[in-house]
Chain A
């Protein structure tokens, strides 16, 4: 059976480890990138089924990466969930305006993350 691919983009190894440990329970294939630029590159090459994207990162931040990903026709429709410490309303609004599907604040709640990821990856095909 095809394992769904999830790309985790975060410059913090701690955040990546946490997300990986939570999501590996569901047998997803996990890909990792350490900043926005690498995230965009890996997404184009690997076409993941879903992405978790941090906001504050070196080289290319999450919002800039989000714009680049949404401008890529080959990645149209890919769910992108922002995962960040930036919980202020203007950041949340900017995330949705730039085209993210969900906005999850750190510290990540395991149940919330699993529920949101499952809701996108286990949806019946349209």
Chain B
């Protein structure tokens, strides 16, 4: 009988140890699962951020690569088509005073056609329900990109699209001007620069 009590005590102690071990393992598992969830969420947000950065890098590189004004305009068109997802837009620039009609210089689709036949002023465009992206050189608005509609299959513009449009707004016109001047630069041998 005594032996039986002893064995029971030992078994009880072992059971208690096993239970404690189970609780410890369960806690550890819960911590691992929580950490896994954190890592998944971190991975997902960093993948999304990478996608956004790729968009910006593509837009920046294409703007800087242009070596004449025409190429810069084509780059802006391609950014709008491939990165933003529109085939209904027009890019217009001021050639004279800011109160004069804007001159369409790039674009495609109905917006481009409409702007060609009836060039609007900046004030008239502001009345429309279109997405307007002013083009700046320093603090001066020298033109505008009007996006009349997006490709039918794409979602509305999001924060990462806004970053690309802000880039075009701040640097698009400068890129056209810089590319125009770059074309007329005289090539100087590297040795002459030292």
Q: Which A residues are closer than 8 A to B by beta carbons?
A: 12-15, 17-18, 21-22, 25, 85, 87-88, 105-111
Once A85-B87, A106-B81 are accepted as A-B contacts, the answer to whether A21 and B51 lie under 8 Å apart by CB is: no
**What residues on B are CB-neighbors of A21 within 8 Å?**
54, 57-58
Task: Return the chain A residue nearest B51 by Cβ.
Answer: A110
Q: Say if the beta carbon of B50 comes within 8 Å of chain A.
A: yes
Q: Are A18 and B87 in contact (CB under 8 A)?
A: no
Q: Are A105 and B154 in contact (CB under 8 A)?
A: yes
Distance in angstroms between the alpha carbons of A106 and B68 in the assembled complex: 27
Q: Which B residues are closer than 8 A to A by beta carbons?
A: 47-48, 50-51, 54-55, 57-58, 61-62, 75, 78-79, 81-85, 87, 151-154
Q: In the complex, how many angstroms separate the beta carbon of A116 from the nearest chain B beta carbon?
A: 15
Q: In the complex, how many angstroms separate the beta carbon of B184 from the nearest chain A beta carbon?
A: 23
Q: In the complex, how many angstroms separate the beta carbon of A89 from the nearest chain B beta carbon?
A: 10
Distance in angstroms between the alpha carbons of A22 and B58 in the assembled complex: 10
Q: In the complex, how many angstroms separate the beta carbon of B82 from the nearest chain A beta carbon?
A: 5
Q: In the complex, how many angstroms separate the beta carbon of B175 from the nearest chain A beta carbon?
A: 13
Distance in angstroms between the alpha carbons of A108 and B84 in the assembled complex: 10
Q: Are B54 and A14 in contact (CB under 8 A)?
A: no
Distance in angstroms between the alpha carbons of A108 and B82 in the assembled complex: 8
Interchain Cβ contacts under 8 Å between A and B, 21 examples: A12-B82, A13-B75, A14-B82, A15-B82, A17-B58, A18-B55, A18-B58, A18-B82, A21-B57, A22-B54, A85-B81, A87-B151, A88-B152, A106-B85, A107-B83, A107-B85, A110-B50, A110-B51, A110-B54, A111-B47, A111-B48
**What residues on A are CB-neighbors of B153 within 8 Å?**
87, 105
Q: Are A106 and B58 in contact (CB under 8 A)?
A: no
**What residues on B are CB-neighbors of A109 within 8 Å?**
51
Interface residue from A14, A85, A111 paired with B58 (Cβ < 8 Å): A14
Distance in angstroms between the alpha carbons of A43 and B54 in the assembled complex: 27
**What residues on B are CB-neighbors of A13 within 8 Å?**
62, 75, 78
Distance in angstroms between the alpha carbons of A82 and B45 in the assembled complex: 27
